[in-house]
Amino acid sequence: SETYSYVKRDAKYKQLTPTDVEAFKTIIGSKGSIITDEVPSDLDFYNEDWMRKYKGQSKLVLKPTTTEQVSEIVKYCNQENLALVPQGGNTGLVGGSVPVFDEIILSVANLNKIRSFDNISGILKCDAGVILETADTYIKENGNYIFPLDLGAKGSCHVGGVVATNAGGLRLLRYGSLHGSVLGLEVVLPNGEIMNSMHALRKDNTGYDLKQLFIGSEGTIGIITGVSILCPPRPNAFNVSFLGVESYEMVQKVFQKAKNELGEVLSAFEFMDNKSLKLTKSHISSPEPLEGEHPFYVLIETSGSNAEHDSAKLETFLESSFENELILDGTVSSNESEFKNLWSWREMIPESSAVGGGVYKYDVSLPLKDLYSLVEAVNERLEAAGLSSDTDASTSVISAIGYGHVGDGNLHLNVAVRTYSKEVEKCLEPFVYEFVSSKNGSISAEHGLGFQKKNYIAYSKSEQEVKMIKQLKNIYDPKGIFNPYKYV
C-alpha cells in the first residue's frame, strides 16, 4: 500500500517455512498458542494497529507462556534470520506494534501473572503481559495502592507495553515518568539471553542503569517479560473539576495558579480546545460537563488523603479563579459517577477522533507558551490548502483538534479525516516536525517513534545521538531481527 511505498522488504530476513512453524510449536507446547494463516482473519487483530492506519502481513503469531519459551523462540529466530515484532496490547499509536511485512508477531499476552506484591513497600512484580487495569485493581485490592500511570487504553494495554513505550498518561504530573518508578526488568535480548534485573531497590548505584535502555525502546533491542515497579499509596479522596476558559493564555494562567494553590493535591491538569469537545460530543452521549460553549476547557484532578481538606482547597481555588476572571464557567464532581463522566470527556477524545475514518496524530512536547500555536498553524495550513473548512462538510479533514497534558508541556494534535490520504499527510508532514523543531520541542512526547516517525528522528535528536542509538542497536541486535523497518 501507499503507506509502505518507501520501504522494501529486506531480503536478508528468511521467509517462514513449515519447518519453522513446527519448531515453534515444539517450543511453545500445548499451554501457549500459535495462530497461523489457516484462518487468515484470525491474524487481523495482530496485523493491524489501533488506528487502522498500519497493516502488516504476518502469517504467524506466537503466544508463549514463559520467559524461557520467549528466549527459545528468539534464539531460533536469531539463528534462522527470522524477523519479529514484540507485541503487547496493540494499543500503540505510531505503528510500532504491528509488522510492516511478514515479520513474526511475538505477543506476550499469555505472560500474564502477577508475580508478587509487597504491600509495605508498594513494589509490584509482574509478567509483561498483565493488563494495566488488572495490575491497578490487584494492588488496590491488596493494600490500597495505585499504579503510577493511568491512560485511556488501560483496559487493553500491557504493563510491559507501557514500559516499552515509556507511556506518560494522565497522571505523570503527580507520579513522574516510568524511568523513575520502574525498579527492575526482565528482558529477553535479541540473541535469546535473559537479562534478569527484577530488582526491588529504590537506590542502586552500581554501574550503568541498564534497565533504562529498554524503557521507551519500543521493542527494538529487547522483549520485556517481567516488570518490577514502585507503586504509590492510593489517594482516598479524588475531585475533578471541569472548567470553561476564554483563551489559551488563560489556560496557562489557570495552570500556574493551580500549581501554586493546589500544590500537593494536584494530580492532573489536562486541556482541550472547543473542537475537541465538539468532536467528542458527536461520538458519546454522556451528559455534557458545562452548559455553554467555551473556546478552551481544562480538567483538573486533585487527589489526597483528606476529602474535606482537598474539597475546601479546590473550592477556594475555583472561587478566586472566577473572581479574577480566569475562568468563565466550572463544575466539580461530587460523586463517583460524575467524576467518571467528567473524565470520559477527556479520555474519549482519541476514540472520537478516530471513528470518522482515520486520524493523523502528532504527540509533541513544546514550551508551554507555544503549545497551542501549532494547532492554529495547522488549521490555517489545512484551510489554505482547501482540505479543511468549518462550513464545508465534504472536505477530507473532519476536524483538526488540540488537547493534552498541559501540565507536562505535551500537546496532542489530532487531524481527524474521512479517509487516510497522501494529500493531507503531505500538508502535515514534515511541516509539523519542522515547527516543533524550530521551537526546540520533541516530535514525540510519549507515543514514541515507531514506524510513523522513523524518518524524522533527526528533528529531535542530534547526529551524534542517532549514531549512538544505532551503535547500541548493533551491539545487541547485529542481525536486526527485532522490530525492523521502525525507527532504528
Q: Which does 165 bind (CB under 5 to 8 A by kind): ligand FAD, ligand MLT, none?
A: ligand FAD
Give the bridge partners for 127, in sequence order. Answer: 226
Please choose, from the candidates 99, 107, 109, 98, the residue with its C-alpha nearest in 3D space to the C-alpha of residue 132.
Answer: 109
- Phi and psi at residue 117, in whole multiples of 5°? -140, 125
Closest residue to ligand FAD, judged by C-beta, is: 161
Give the DSSP per-residue string, 187-207: EE-TTS-EEEE----S---SS
Q: Which does 158 bind (CB under 5 to 8 A by kind): ligand MLT, ligand FAD, none?
A: ligand FAD
**C-beta closer to ligand MLT: residue 158 or 211:** 158
Question: At its nearest, how many Å lie between ligand MLT and the CB of residue 90?
Answer: 14
Closest residue to ligand MLT, judged by C-beta, is: 350
CA distance 407 to 397: 28
Question: At its nearest, how many Å lie between ligand MLT and the CB of residue 136?
Answer: 17
- The residue ranges that bind ligand FAD (CB under 6 A) are 50, 85-93, 96-97, 108, 128, 151-153, 157-158, 160-162, 164-165, 167-170, 218-219, 223-224, 350, 446-447, 450, 483
Question: At its nearest, how many Å lie between ligand MLT and the CB of residue 93?
Answer: 6
Element (H, E) at 44: helix 44-47
Q: Which does 441 bind (CB under 5 to 8 A by kind): ligand FAD, ligand MLT, none?
A: none
Q: Which does 92 bind (CB under 5 to 8 A by kind): ligand FAD, ligand MLT, none?
A: ligand FAD
**C-beta closer to ligand MLT: residue 160 or 404:** 404
- Based on the number of CB atoms within 10 Å of its own CB, is 133 exposed (0-12), middle (13-18) or buried (19 or more)? middle
Site string for ligand MLT, 50-89 (x = CB under 6 A): ----------------------------------------
Residues 137/210, Cβ–Cβ less than 8 Å: no
Give exposure, 112-132, as e/b (b: 16+ Cβ within 10 Å).
bebeebeeeebbbbbbbbbbb
Does position 152 bind ligand MLT by CB under 6 A? yes
CA distance 38 to 49: 21
Residues composing the chain: 488
Give the DSSP per-residue string, 242-274: EEEES-HHHHHHHHHHHHHHHGGGEEEEEEEEH
Residue 231: which region, alpha, beta or left (left: phi > 0; alpha: psi -120 to 50)? beta
**C-beta closer to ligand MLT: residue 74 or 349:** 349
**Cβ-based neighbour number of residue 367 at 10 Å:** 11
**C-beta closer to ligand FAD: residue 108 or 195:** 108
Does position 450 bind ligand MLT by CB under 6 A? no
Does position 412 bind ligand MLT by CB under 6 A? yes
Q: Which does 412 bind (CB under 5 to 8 A by kind): ligand MLT, ligand FAD, none?
A: ligand MLT
Among 350, 441, 448, 480, binds ligand MLT (CB under 6 A): 350
List residues near ligand MLT by CB under 6 A: 93, 152, 349-350, 361, 404, 412
